[in-house]
Every structure is written in structure tokens, then in C-alpha cells.
Amino acid sequence: MITKQDICKKIQEVFPEAGACGIDYDVEFDSKNQAWIVDLHHGSHHLKTFIEIDEANSCLEGKSCLPLGLQIGQLKRNFDLASPTEQ
């Protein structure tokens, strides 16, 4: 079974610009949707994405991390575009 720590570690490997797990983003499993939620935050602003179980498994098995990297990268870019003066 995949753990929150597994997902955090993989995000840091695939997209280190996302920051630190527990500080710049949080990861939780959503049992209702059967997916991992990555909540990227910047101050009081939050952007969330769902990572499907199959996508997470594939990435952690070393097969393909493209969906994970793209989703986290897009969240980060959205924050950067929304607040360019805070960089």
C-alpha cells in the first residue's frame, strides 16, 4: 500500500520546485474519490489536484511519472502566474 510519505518523496524527486511536503504542499488519501489529493498552498491560497491510484502506483514503480509531474507542475505554475511579484 502506498503511503503519504511515498507520494511526498516521489513529488520531491520528480518536481523539487514544488517545495517541501507538509510546508509547501500536503498529501492525503481521499477515500471517497479513491485518489490521492495534493494540496499546494501559498499563504492562504490553495490549489488541489487528484492523483489516481493507478497513476501513483505506476510512478512509484518507476514506470511513468508524467501525470504526477505534469499535474504538480501545473499547480506550481498557476501560483507563479497569479503572484509574480512574490517570487
Q: How much is the pLDDT for 68?
A: 80
Is residue 68 assigned to a domain?
no
Q: How much is the pLDDT for 85?
A: 55
Is residue 81 assigned to a domain?
no
Structural domain harbouring 40: 1-61
- 74 vs 27, residue with greater confidence: 27
Is residue 37 assigned to a domain?
yes
Is residue 33 assigned to a domain?
yes
Q: Tell me the pLDDT tens digit for each residue of 13-63.
A: 888 888 899 999 999 999 999 999 999 888 888 888 899 999 999 999 988
Q: How much is the pLDDT for 87?
A: 46
Q: How much is the pLDDT for 56?
A: 92
Q: Nearest 5°: CA angle at 68, between 34 and 54?
A: 40
In this structure, what C-alpha cell is assigned to residue 21? 511536503
Domain total for the chain? 1
